[in-house]
Amino acid sequence: MLAFLKNYAERHQHPASQVLHLIGVPLTFIVSLIWLCQGYGWWALGAFVGGYALQFLGHAIEGNDAGEVVLIKKALGLPYVDIVPRANAVKK
């Protein structure tokens, strides 16, 4: 779990990306599930798609591929951008 959190923090360094993920992740997984269970199918679909769109926008701002895209590109043997080094990143 610690490795996952470290990787997540490295892949989401830009403040705009962080805000978009803060909104997009719950919208994608929590809100859409709640609305689906309440019978609001189209609203649930809209929340799911909209939440994912916010996350993909965050990755576009970040300059890296979204996790799902990385998995697909890896499986196909295509190049992908996992982590974009930042000029102000602290070297360890």
Q: What mean pLDDT is predicted for residues 6-27?
A: 95
Whether 71 is covered by a domain: the verdict is: yes
The string of DSSP codes covering 51-69 is HHHHHHHHHHHHTS--HHH
Percent of the chain with pLDDT over 70: 93
Average pLDDT, the chain: 92
Number of structural domains, the chain?
1
CB 80 within 8 A of CB 74: yes
CA distances in angstroms from 92 to 6, 13, 31, 89, listed in the order given: 13, 16, 38, 9
Is this structure's pTM higher than 0.95? no
CA distance 74 to 92: 27
> Band of the pLDDT at 88, cuts 50, 70, 90?
low
**Is the per-residue pLDDT at 91 higher than 60?**
no
Q: Is the pLDDT of residue 87 over 80?
A: no
Q: Can you tell me the mean pLDDT for 14-28? A: 97
Residue 1 falls inside a structural domain: no
pLDDT of residue 84: 87
Residue 2 falls inside a structural domain: no
Domain that includes residue 39, residue range: 15-76
Establish if 46 belongs to a structural domain. Answer: yes
pLDDT digits (tens, 9 = 90+) for 38-61: 999 999 999 999 999 999 999 999
